[in-house]
Amino acid sequence: MTICEIMALAEKHAAWAIERRRDLHRVPELDWDLPKTSRIVTDALDEMGIGYSRIRTGVVALIQGKGPGRTVGLRADMDALPVTEPDGCPFGSTHPGRMHACGHDVHTAVLLGTARALLECDFPGQVKLLFQPAEEADGGAEPMIEAGCMEDPHVDEVYGLHVMPYLPAGHIECREGALNAASDLVDITVYGRSGHGAYPDQSRDAIVCAAQLVTALQTLVSRNVSPLQTAVLSMGTIEGGTANNVICGQVHMTGTLRTLSPELRAFLKDRICQAAQGVAQAMDCRAEVRLVPSYCALINPPQYARGVLDTARELVGEDRTHVKEASSMGAEDFAYYLLHAPGAFYHLGCGFEGQENAPLHAAGFRVNEDCVQYGIAMQTALTLKALGRR
């Protein structure tokens, strides 16, 4: 199938997909609690005659091609955010305090539109449609994979996308190697000994110790990591104390660690523990450190990222195809699919040309729905190319 034919297919099914996107946008749901969202997806699959199974509120559908062949997986995350949507959208959220402020409604609609397009294509093998919950929460990718979504049949290549408002609709962005960072929760409790504020010598001040520790932690990246590498350590909360005249005996703080390589991730986790225990010991206090891993780094295998960029150039042209210069320190659980099959993750422009577009996760986030057509075209073209490979 030619690029022109793929673009025509995408244009043909874009209006239907946009209607599904608006249906999804009206009913934003969180984490794994996606009954209405899943129902919209399964109703659309029923309409198309595509069989599916469920993993909790996740949906795994399979499109059978003509004859044996490879299996390509396409993933769309479905969950929304606890954000209040401003008035004014004609298909705005009907769930107070919840909004599709990260564009997962678009991802899901694009995948449904891609399914409609693929039903009109001749190809060997099969295509798995992975509708995943909980990307914004504790991560739905790993439970989906553990439940077998990448097997029976085994997925040979896997692709995913994310809308980006800083790119106008019709623009595509990807990069080889690290695209998104690994993330870890940093949870530290400093234990001192409380006492009267008038007699500090009889206490061990956990607040002073915690202040020294925060300062020490801020030097871990600047003085332990090469300027040619990238890492972020940010402390986000700190709590302690009960009264103005009582020396605090316990302080609790939390933060986030973001890294792009497994080696640097392990190194900084060790250094965080060493710094916390060393500073606490020096101030006659004690520190407990808990490091809770979240998503691993998303690493695009070079040849598959190049394949995405080559496909984008064919579809939208050289001037609207971009190599992302630097990795994002944000996390993305599509990374786990890439541990089980090669493929790539890329960015789909959804911004309005010549306007200042609100960022992801903001209440003012808006989508230029022209992006849906390009998403369908990209996913269809990548799938057909992958199925045509040996």
CB 382 within 8 A of CB 67: no
Q: List all residues 6 or more positions away from 320 whose beta carbon is below 8 Å from its beta carbon.
A: 170, 171, 172, 312, 349
Treating both helix axes as pointing N-terminal to C-terminal, what angle do 3-26 and 35-48 enclose, rounded to 10 degrees? 140
Q: Which amino acid would we find at residue 268?
A: L
The total of other beta-carbon atoms located within 10 Å of residue 379's CB is: 30
Of 97, 116, 93, 120, which is closest to residue 23 (Cα–Cα)? 93
Task: Give the active site residue among 29, 79, 85, 136.
Answer: 136
Task: Give the active site residue among 29, 77, 156, 333.
Answer: 77
Of 31, 87, 78, which is closest to residue 59 (Cα–Cα)? 78
- How far apart are alpha carbons 90 and 25 in whole angstroms? 10
Q: Find tokens 């870890």 and name the residue.
A: 184
Cross-sheet strand order for the sheet of 172-174: 51-55, 58-64, 126-132, 71-77, 157-168, 343-351, 172-174, 321-323
**84: number of CA atoms within 13 Å, CB side?**
4
Sign of the CA dihedral running 331, 261, 174, 384 = negative
| 3-state SS class at 87 | coil
- How far apart are alpha carbons 334 and 344 in whole angstroms? 9
Residue by residue, DSSP assigns 197-247 as: TT-GGGSB-HHHHHHHHHHHHHHHHHHHS-TTS-EEEEEEEEEE-S-TTEE
Q: Which amino acid would we find at residue 270?
A: D
What's the Cα-to-Cα distance from 207 to each of 136, 186, 234, rounded to whole Å? 33, 18, 18
CA 72-74-78 angle, to 5 degrees, is 160
In eight-state DSSP terms, residue 189 is E
Residue 329, both tokens = 């320190």
Is 43 an active-site residue?
no
Is 284 an active-site residue?
no
Residues identified as active-site = 77, 136
